[in-house]
Amino acid sequence: MAAVEPLQRLAASLVVVRASGQLSDAQRRYPQWELANAELQRLLAAGVGGVILLGGSATELRLRCAQLGRWGGQPLLLCADVEEGVGQRFPGASWLVPPLGLGMLHSRDRQRALHLAERYGRCTGREARALGLNWVLAPVCDVNNNPANPVINVRAWAEQPAAAAELVAAFCRGLQAEGVLGCAKHFPGHGDTSSDSHLELPLLPHDRQRLEAIELPPFRAAIAAGVATVMTAHLLLPALDPQRPATLSAAVLTGLLRQELGFNGLVVTDALMMEAISANYGPGEAAVLALEAGADLVLMPADADAAIAALVAAVQGGRLSRERLEASAQRRRTALERLPIDPLEPLQPIEAIEPLEPDNALALELIEACGIRRSHGVLGGEMVGPGLGNGPGLNLVRLDDSLAAPFLPSDAPALALAERAGYRSLLLDRRSPSPWSDNPQAPLDLARLDLAGLNLAEPQLAKREALPVLLQLFVRGNPFRGSAGGGEPWAAVVEQLQRAKRLAGLVVYGSPYLWQELEPLLDVATPAVYCLGQMPLAQTWALQSLGLGLSDGPMDRRAGEFTD
């Protein structure tokens, strides 16, 4: 007869902690959330059942996963938020366009969109497994029917429930065919919220009939496609439970997800350190409430030791039964048993691992399929004006934070290609001096920008007073941002620059809603491009569409670089 697992180790197996993908404590990017190695090793030895990883290159991630496996001494769930391909988080792997692009394509070419969604899943699963991950926290099943949503936005697969349902199912089939676990999130639907659960508790005020029509179809489709896990949403649904957020609600997790939707897999909370939960519940109480509600795993409690101790105390005090914890532990084991290899099998020696080759052909195909070119004055198939000419000029780049923009390193094409053509780069972010004037009809302070541009220019340009502007806008909803990128007067800016005959070209990266606002305002001959992706490969495609960089040779679809 098998020995009964100690209660503390049983409780620990239901906790997933966060760690850096890099090996050294000094390399941690977010030390307030990412455990130091000594703490991580102690908790894994005590039986903690999973780790969520962020940071480091693809090669470093492979080393880190091998290290964690050695420290754990048991099958671990090793996961990452790689909704846009593994390269979104770990450079060296494939970074794909945000999923909403395939929803846009679905409305024009349904079969191609579904085919690409499955390839998207296969690419993500194949690379995750090659680097040591066995659990991908995707797909996002939220329907982005609210363009102002600050946190879901382009992460969703579609704005319509039927399209989202088809696409997430295709992604799940591709992903899990590669031998990793998928995760449908954020149940029962975070798409129609106006606030970010990383910062506060959102309210979803809809009745059950509306949930059935909009929020639930993608989750039903993912479950039908065999998705292994479901992640909860930190939001309040008064129609189902007026007291507790979905993550802590038995009505949502047991009544709706388990009993009505028939999901028998593994239920994981969204990160419990998010303000929607941590502002109202301590780490121990949140963990207990989550298991009482029907969750199996608690992700990123603010204090892992407190969460484990609270689960143990809840069993000892009769609030939770030991059988309840054992049922969750069995679901965890069942999920691991779905994997095609024995999780206890020693990982291959690092020197035996083939270097990962990112699938840039797929990445570029997705960029082209989801992008919109209005460049070289091409409108309706007719050439109506010139493309973007060479400078001198200003390359005005708007982004959230130049110090936290993995898509914009110092040699990023958005900077390098523009500068090679004579456009001097000025970055507008929250750390920059304000570029705004007090005139709502002419919101940019062009005199200030000209002065800054001239200070960067060659001495012989010092007398030039007005430079043409290449405007590149990196705008999308993101966690912790608090908005979907609205609130800035870019429509007025476009009109201002066009009145002054100074808008050389426009590129919008990310938000389709900003593009939809700006595109009708453009003069017929103004070269412009919309690209859903923000990564360097997308920048190269966008700027080559404007005519920049073409003299260096066409893009190599394998490497995404210039070739002769």
Choose the catalytic residue: 142, 192, 196, 270: 270
Q: By CB neighbour count within 10 A (0-12 exposed, 13-18 middle, 19+ buried), where does 447 fall?
A: exposed
- Residue 346 has what DSSP assignment? P
Between CA 491 and CA 492, with CA 428 as vertex, the angle to 5 degrees is: 15
Q: Is 452 left (phi over 0), alpha (psi -120 to 50) or beta?
A: alpha
- Look up 81 and say whether it is catalytic: no
Q: By CB neighbour count within 10 A (0-12 exposed, 13-18 middle, 19+ buried), where does 41 fall?
A: middle
Structure tokens at 40: 């991580």
- Look up 234 and say whether it is catalytic: no
Judge if the upstream peptide bond of residue 186 is cis by omega within 30 degrees of 0.
Answer: yes
Residue 160 CA to residue 475 CA, distance in Å, equals: 22
130 contacts 179 by C-beta, under 8 angstroms: no
161 contacts 143 by C-beta, under 8 angstroms: yes
Closest CA to 139 of 117, 159, 162: 117
Residue 383 CA to residue 311 CA, distance in Å, equals: 68
Please report, as a single letter, which amino acid is at residue 339. Answer: L
Choose the catalytic residue: 106, 198, 206, 234: 198
The phi and psi torsions of 88 (rounded to 5 degrees) equal -60, -35
233 contacts 186 by C-beta, under 8 angstroms: yes
- Residue 186 has what DSSP assignment? E
Pairing, β 503-510 against β 423-428: unpaired
Q: Any idea which residues carry the catalytic annotation? A: 198, 270
